Structure 1
Amino acid sequence: MIGWEDVYKVVVAMVPLYVALILGYGSVKWWRFFTPEQCDAINRLVAYFTLPLFTFEFAAHVDPFKMNYPFIAADAISKVIIVAVLAFWAKCSSKGSYCWSITSFSLSTLTNSLVVGVPLAKAMYGQSAVDLVVQGSVIQAIVWLTLLLLVLEIRRTHTNFYSSETEGDSSKGVDKSVKDLEENSTSTKPSCWSLMKAVWLKLAMNPNSYACIVGIIWAFIANRWHFQMPAIMEGSILIMSRAGTGTAMFSMGLFMALQEKIVACGTSLTVFGMVLRFIAGPAAMAIGSIAVGLHGDVLRVAIIQAALPQSITSFIFAKEYGLHADVISTAVIFGMLVSLPLLVAYYAILEFLH
């Protein structure tokens, strides 16, 4: 049962994140330390250095031979359900769109497992629950964040390709009418091969696309043959990886300070994000868990970890690729504020049903 000491441990884990957030916000809003261009550079530092090293560091220290594969299968089924629903919505609804499908996937499936999930899971169900949450984090980084990175890169590459072709046409004399450009737009669209070639080249230069994969490969080798990472190598990784979460929250504070309002996306989108994060995600996870036959504490941990606050990494990607960063940042900030009472409520309901 959760006591006040357990709640305090969760608060202790969360408050430092808000300190970093406030420092980032104040450095632009109050003290004018950074320009918008410098803020973009800081976000890029986080996206290409601290977060990949943070991801590699925690993936390299898991034991892949002790993973709970039914739990991982349930998580995969829940995300496939979300993808299927969003694909149907984007194709069949007049309000559906590819861009909003990407953002909705982030909101409903990607969680902040390590900062909030680990202390909370330990307080609720002990060390076995912590192991499950960490396993879910590793799979999220290897599969689902990489998938998110892929679709974001496809979107940006396609947009850049089309924009460059349109600019080339307009430089020839925009005397060309808009109608002419629209009629000829099909000829400027890249082929599937050229698009994917450009995307894979971009991903090959992005350390986020392989940091966790390299980490889990090392984990397999280290646990199979009982190797330890050389101290000089581990120290080199830790010096940057320890700053991963803090600098990500600092970057989010910078982003907030550049907006006109703290709640940059408005009330309706904030509520939309909270519904996806704390209702749609756990509901899909419950379906996936029942489908593979999870029961007992493993079932309860699966549902609770799906209701954790929004992933900070998803904001860094949204900011870097220019896709609804205001919505994701609001989901991270408000999600961490409301997550504790909501997760305790989930815990109480699941215990009552048991």
Structure 2
Amino acid sequence: MIGWEDVYKVITAMTPLCVALALGYASVKWWHMFTPDQFDAINRFNCFFIIPFFNFKFISHINPYELNYPFLGADCIAKCIVLIVLVFWTNCTRKGSCMWSITAFSLCSLNNTLIVGVPLLKAMYGEVGEDLVVQSSVIQSLVWVIFLLFMLEFRREWSKTKSITNTINGDLQLQAIECGSDLDQNSTPMSMSINKTPSIWSILKIVWLKLAKNPNFYACIAGLIWALLASRWQFKMPEIIEGSILIMSKAGAGVSMFSMGLFMALQERVIACGTPLTLFGMALRFMVSPVTMAIGSVVSGLHGNVLRIALIQAALPQSIASFVYAQEYGLHPDILSTAVIFGTIVSLPLLIAYYALLEVAR
């Protein structure tokens, strides 16, 4: 049973995040130390240097041969349910949007497993809770973060290609009007070849090449390879390498929250996305995610404390890294920042309430 000492441990783990957030906010709002361009540079540094080291550190220290596969299978099923619903919404409804689907997937799927999840689940369920939430974090980095990055790169490349094609088409039409001719009837083979919104395969090729160069991608893959080899032959990473990784990875959460504070200060209001979208994000994070996880848990046959851990970890607050990616790729960073901030604030009483309900339902 979770007690006041356990609650204090969780608050102790979360307070440094608030301090980093406040420092970032104050450095712009009151001290005027950073400009928007400098904020973008800080966020990019975090996205392509610090977070890859952070992901490598945790992935490289797991034992891939001792994972709880039913638990991870339930998590995979839950996220696949979200994906199926979003694909249907995007392609079969008038209001469907690829951009909003990516943001909704991030809100439903990426949670703060390490900073909030580890101390909270350890307090609730002991070493088993800590072990499972770390496994969830590793799979999140290996599979779902990479998938999110793929979708973000695809969306960026698709928008760029569409913009270039529209510009070329507009120039061709303008030339045709100036020449007093009809482009559709009198266009030359050269102009027609220029006129061809590239194929989906050519865009996918560009996306995969960019993703392969993304440090977040190969940091996860390198971490998995190291974990497989180290667990198989029982050897440890040299201290000189371990120290080099640690000095960068430890800055991950702090720099991310500081960057979020900068973003907040640059907005006209604290709730950057407005109340309706804030409630929408909270509903996806704390209601839709646990519901889909419950379905996945039933399909995977989870029971006992493993089932309870699965449901609570699905309701953890929003991943801090999701804001960093949203800002870097220019896709709804206001919604993600608000989800992280308010989600972290309300998560402790909400998750304790979930824990109490699950204990009563034993």
In structure 1, C-alpha distance between the alignment counterparts of 2:72 and 2:258, rounded to whole Å: 32
In structure 2, C-alpha distance between the alignment counterparts of 1:4 and 1:249, rounded to whole Å: 26
Q: Which residue of 2 aligns with 1:298?
A: 306
Q: Deviations over 1:51-82 (max 9, x none)?
A: 00000001111111111000000000000111
In structure 1, C-alpha distance between the alignment counterparts of 2:194 and 2:299, rounded to whole Å: 44
Q: Which residue of 2 aligns with 1:93?
A: 93
Identity score, percent = 60
1:210 aligns with 2:179: no
Contact kept? 1:52, 1:207, Cα under 8 Å: yes
In structure 2, C-alpha distance between the alignment counterparts of 1:63 and 1:89, rounded to whole Å: 38
Contact kept? 2:121, 2:133, Cα under 8 Å: yes
In structure 1, C-alpha distance between the alignment counterparts of 2:329 and 2:160, rounded to whole Å: 12
Q: Partner letter of residue 262 of structure 1?
A: V
In structure 2, C-alpha distance between the alignment counterparts of 1:100 and 1:185, rounded to whole Å: 33
Q: How many Å apart are 1:44 and its aligned residue? A: 0.1
For 1:1-354, what aligned pairs fall within 5 Å after superposition? Answer: 1-170=1-170, 187-354=195-362
Q: May I ask how many residue pairs the two structures share in their alignment?
A: 351
In structure 1, C-alpha distance between the alignment counterparts of 2:183 and 2:37, rounded to whole Å: 36
Give the root-mean-square deviation of aligned CA atoms. 1.9
**For residues 180 and 238 of structure 1, do their structure 2 counterparts lie closer, same or farther at Cα, with a shift above 3 Å needed?**
farther
Contact kept? 2:107, 2:281, Cα under 8 Å: yes
SS of 1:190's equivalent in the other structure is coil
Q: How many Å apart are 1:119 and its aligned residue? A: 0.3
Contact kept? 1:158, 1:190, Cα under 8 Å: no
Q: Partner letter of residue 150 of structure 1?
A: F
SS of 2:31's equivalent in the other structure is coil
In structure 2, C-alpha distance between the alignment counterparts of 1:188 and 1:235, rounded to whole Å: 52
Q: Which residue of 1 aligns with 2:189?
A: none
Q: How many Å apart are 1:165 and its aligned residue? A: 3.0
**For residues 48 and 292 of structure 1, do their structure 2 counterparts lie closer, same or farther at Cα, with a shift above 3 Å needed?**
same
**For residues 92 and 222 of structure 1, do their structure 2 counterparts lie closer, same or farther at Cα, with a shift above 3 Å needed?**
same
Unaligned runs of 5+ residues in structure 1 are none
Contact kept? 1:113, 1:308, Cα under 8 Å: yes
**For residues 319 and 174 of structure 1, do their structure 2 counterparts lie closer, same or farther at Cα, with a shift above 3 Å needed?**
farther
SS of 1:210's equivalent in the other structure is helix
Unaligned runs of 5+ residues in structure 2 are 185-191
In structure 1, C-alpha distance between the alignment counterparts of 2:302 and 2:253, rounded to whole Å: 32
SS of 1:95's equivalent in the other structure is coil
Q: Deviations over 1:276-306 (max 9, x none)?
A: 0000000000010011110000000000000
Contact kept? 1:121, 1:133, Cα under 8 Å: yes
In structure 1, C-alpha distance between the alignment counterparts of 2:72 and 2:227, rounded to whole Å: 17
Q: How many Å apart are 1:324 and its aligned residue? A: 0.6
**For residues 115 and 191 of structure 1, do their structure 2 counterparts lie closer, same or farther at Cα, with a shift above 3 Å needed?**
same
**For residues 185 and 163 of structure 1, do their structure 2 counterparts lie closer, same or farther at Cα, with a shift above 3 Å needed?**
farther
In structure 2, C-alpha distance between the alignment counterparts of 1:236 and 1:83, rounded to whole Å: 37
In structure 1, C-alpha distance between the alignment counterparts of 2:231 and 2:157, rounded to whole Å: 39
Q: Partner letter of residue 261 of structure 2?
A: G
Contact kept? 2:172, 2:183, Cα under 8 Å: no
Q: Which stretch shows the higher mean deviation, 230-239 or 148-157?
A: 230-239
Q: How many Å apart are 1:192 and its aligned residue? A: 1.8
SS of 1:126's equivalent in the other structure is helix
Q: Which stretch shows the higher mean deviation, 105-114 or 82-91?
A: 82-91
Contact kept? 2:21, 2:258, Cα under 8 Å: yes
In structure 2, C-alpha distance between the alignment counterparts of 1:268 and 1:99, rounded to whole Å: 18
Q: Partner letter of residue 205 of structure 2?
A: K
Q: How many Å apart are 1:173 and its aligned residue? A: 7.7
Q: How many Å apart are 1:42 and its aligned residue? A: 0.4
Q: How many Å apart are 1:162 and its aligned residue? A: 2.0
TM-score of the superposition, structure 1-length normalised?
A: 0.95
Q: Partner letter of residue 318 of structure 2?
A: Q
In structure 1, C-alpha distance between the alignment counterparts of 2:194 and 2:333, rounded to whole Å: 30
